[in-house]
Structure 1
Amino acid sequence: MIRHYVLFKFKPGVSWDDPRAQQAEQIAAKVGGEVPELREWTVGRNISTRPIAYDFAAVGLLDDMEDVERYLVHPFHQEAISAWREISDWVIADVQE
């Protein structure tokens, strides 16, 4: 099993008041229902106020790296990436469980 972590940090001038951020959040919430390779999918806003904190997280569970590769190119996932690319930078980690 592979636990896929993604942490998003807003670009300067972007906040949750921005409609683009709200739209990206809504799209991200739907990825788990649209990408069949995802066994689990959790998203949410970070509640930490520390300066080092990221703004949003997505965590998925997939069977193996082949499923990760299929998830990455899935059209709905690509749509979500487009929404986030405009407003944020992100980091990822794929951890074998």
Structure 2
Amino acid sequence: MIRHLVLFKLNDGVAKDEPRVAAGAAAFEALGKQIDVLREWECGWNFSERDIAYDYAINSLVDDVAALQAYLTHPAHQAGVALWREFATWVIADVEV
């Protein structure tokens, strides 16, 4: 099993209530029902206001490397990434569990 974690940081001057950001969040919220290889799917806005905090997080679980690759290359995932690329940066961790 692989835990796929992603933390997103909105670019300077970008607010989470902007329509493009809302569209990006909606795209990711829908992925859990669109991509069959996802065993678990959680995502949402961080409420912490600490300086080191990221803004949005994804926590997902897949069976193996092949499933992770299927998720990463899925058209719905790629479409969501394209939206987020316009207004945020992110870091990831893929952990065997």
How do 1:35-50 residues align onto structure 2 when only pairs under 5 Å count? 35-50=35-50
Runs of 5+ consecutive residues of structure 1 not aligned to the other structure: none
Indicate the SS of the match to 2:69: helix
- Normalised by the size of structure 2, how large is the TM-score? 0.97
3-state SS in 1 of match to 2:58? strand
Q: 1: distance between equivalents of 2:82 and 2:52? A: 24
Match for residue 56 of structure 1?
A: 56
Q: Deviations over 1:45-72 (max 9, x none)?
A: 0010001100000111000011101110
Counterpart amino acid of residue 61 in structure 2: L
The residue type equivalent to 2:91 in the other structure is V
Q: How large is the Cα RMSD of the aligned pairs?
A: 0.6
Query: May I ask how many residue pairs the two structures share in their alignment?
Result: 97
Detail structure 1 runs of 4+ shifted over 3 Å in the superposition. none
Deviation at 1:17, TM superposition (A): 2.0
TM-score under structure 1 normalisation? Answer: 0.97
Alpha-carbon distance, 1:15 to partner? 1.0
1:3 aligns with 2:3: yes
- Aligned amino acid, residue 64 of structure 1: D
Instruction: Determine whether 1:66 maps to 2:66.
Output: yes
The residue number in structure 1 matching 2:12 is 12
Q: How does 1:24-43 map to 2 (within 5 A)?
A: 24-43=24-43
